[in-house]
Structure 1
Amino acid sequence: MGLVVSNGRLYHADMLNTIVHGDPTALPPLVIAHGLYGSARNWGVIAHRLSDERQVIAVDMRNHAHSFWDPLHDYPALASDIAQVIEQLGGPVDVLGHSMGGKAAMALTLQHGDLVRKLVVADIAPVAYGHSQIQFIEAMRAVDMSQVHRRSDAEQQLAKLGVERALQSFFTQSLDVTGKRWLLNLDVLADQMPNIMGFPELDGAWDGSALFLSGAASDYVLPEHRDHIRGLFPGARFAKIPGAGHWLHAEKPREFEAAVRTFLNA
């Protein structure tokens, strides 16, 4: 595992940063992959609670938080990153991915199915979406770091730029206040947005146990997506969390945790 320096930052080359919760048990470990603009740290509470039964490893995806930066950000690459982590754990493991992380988890399972025992995909489908998340990159770029002395300073600027309150605090979790910089490779994420919003054509299918868990108020996983999902994941089951939108794990954490725990232990 080599080290590289880029823009004055030190990176582990080609190895994701991880946050480990709990010790190994008789149950398979759970690897969690966060969504766009997120981090392993976002999953701390749920990961800690699930670690009462099994070891939980949350990863920082490439171009996010404390993982390496790379000009390529597509799902085969993200899947390969996670596969490397699982191989170090001795696999196979259970995998949970939300949004971008859910697409990465699906690509992982389709390309490296022997490394996955059970799959949980949180509020995303293996399809291309017509919208973009570029407006949030533009908002983060517009923050005047010379005026940022604490996270709340950045949140106030984001509010004036039209970013809703919940996302202000979410984004600023990836803010290095001391270094006055985002821990997000905004240039690459902007450049690679078509890959992030899309999903690659991958051969084959994975017939293991998969749960597609959605927010009932979200429109990311629609009824018309189900046939395509079942074509790739014949063992797919579907469930919805009432009163939750796309950020179901943050909006309904106890219900989300219970659904994941029940599925993994079934």
Structure 2
Amino acid sequence: MNYVKSGNGPVVILIHGLFGDLDNLKLLSKTLEDSFTVIRVDVANHGNSPRIANMTYPNLAADIISLLDALQIEQASIVGHSMGGKIAMATALLYPARVSHLVVADIAPVCYNSRHDKVFNALETLPLSNLTNRREALTHMQKLGIDDGTAQFLLKSLKRGDNGFEWKLNLAAIRQSYTNIISWPVFTHNYQGPCLFIRGADSDYVTTEHRSTIIKLFPNVKAKTIEGTGHWLHAQKPSIFNRIVKEFIL
């Protein structure tokens, strides 16, 4: 698993969401580095992490534990956004003794309907071999109905290789595992450690309908809502988001 380590103190693992990489939570890392050792990771099939055929939350949680073992870290706080939040939750539920604090950003421990068909279409139809610059890629995204902010985010995973542009993402494997990514395994036990759910007020990823499920799996839970933000709450109001996270895990 590819990672970047910085800072000093108790360990915090930061896990990005779908189509992202370890730079997504870089601003949070900078806020935490004066008090914590911060480890930002690339999830499998993202960034520079290994390519795997089947992404499941138990497998992705095991990747986090394997990294902790390799670094000889007994326990860490884990912060995850979106898909990364599901990985963080699965890690806490499967390996509770290894997680000191859990922070989940704008995702619930539930199954979601497919909502990325347009994104997959835009990514998979991008004519990589014909691209001469990133502006052409942005225009392609916009023509297929991807808003400018989302397109800019997605294109962070586009890189120039020896033979032209290529994706850092393993799109085929992500597409193959998409059903697993939007679903959620059945867990028969809960995580009793301190847990914080942060949601964007304008997002529909965490709703009142999810409340009972969250409390059942995470009985020691607190919740915060950041007004004026959607699913990308950590990027829309980073100073507020970062402060909330830091105060909780201190």
Normalization by structure 1: what TM-score? Answer: 0.90
Match status 1:247 vs 2:245: no
Q: 2:122–2:144: 8 Å Cα contact kept in structure 1?
A: yes
Alignment partner, residue 228 of structure 1 = 213
Partner SS state of residue 177, structure 1:
strand
Q: 2:54–2:176: 8 Å Cα contact kept in structure 1?
A: no
Q: 2:12–2:76: 8 Å Cα contact kept in structure 1?
A: yes
1:43 pairs with 25, 50, 53, which one? Answer: 25
Tell me which amino acid in the other structure corresponds to 2:121: E
Alignment partner, residue 35 of structure 2 = 53
The Cα of 1:148 is off from its aligned counterpart by 2.3
1:76 pairs with 35, 55, 58, which one? Answer: 58
Match status 1:150 vs 2:138: no
Instruction: After superposition, give the CA deviation of every residue in 1:140-180 in whole Å (9 maximum; x if it has no partner).
Output: 11111133233333112111111110111111111112341
Q: 1:216–1:240: 8 Å Cα contact kept in structure 2?
A: yes
* Alpha-carbon distance in structure 1 between the residues aligned to 2:39 and 2:74: 12
**Which of 1 and 2 has higher RCO (CA within 8 Å, sep 6+)?**
2
Alignment partner, residue 6 of structure 1 = none
Alignment partner, residue 62 of structure 1 = 44
Over aligned residue pairs, what C-alpha RMSD do you find?
Answer: 1.2
Instruction: After superposition, give the CA deviation of every residue in 1:213-238 in whole Å (9 maximum; x if it has no partner).
Output: 00011111111211111111110111
* Alpha-carbon distance in structure 2 between the residues aligned to 1:243 and 1:132: 22
Alignment partner, residue 171 of structure 2 = 186
1:117 pairs with 100, 125, 130, which one? Answer: 100
Identity rate of aligned residues, in percent?
38
Instruction: After superposition, give the CA deviation of every residue in 1:229-264 in whole Å (9 maximum; x if it has no partner).
Output: 111111011110010100100111111001101111
Partner SS state of residue 180, structure 1:
strand
The Cα of 1:36 is off from its aligned counterpart by 0.2
* Alpha-carbon distance in structure 1 between the residues aligned to 2:205 and 2:182: 11
In the TM superposition, structure 1's runs of 4+ consecutive aligned residues that sit over 6 Å from their partners are none
Instruction: After superposition, give the CA deviation of every residue in 1:25-47 in whole Å (9 maximum; x if it has no partner).
Output: 2xx21100100000002222221
Q: What does residue range 158-173 of structure 1 map to in structure 2 within 5 Å?
A: 158-173=141-156
Instruction: After superposition, give the CA deviation of every residue in 1:96-125 in whole Å (9 maximum; x if it has no partner).
Output: 000000001100000011110000000000
Normalization by structure 2: what TM-score? Answer: 0.95
Partner SS state of residue 65, structure 1:
coil
The Cα of 1:52 is off from its aligned counterpart by 1.6
2:83 pairs with 91, 94, 100, which one? Answer: 100
Alignment partner, residue 11 of structure 1 = none
Alignment partner, residue 5 of structure 1 = none
Tell me which amino acid in the other structure corresponds to 1:194: T
Alignment partner, residue 197 of structure 2 = 212
Gaps of 5+ in 1: 1-15
* Alpha-carbon distance in structure 1 between the residues aligned to 2:193 and 2:183: 24
Partner SS state of residue 29, structure 2:
helix
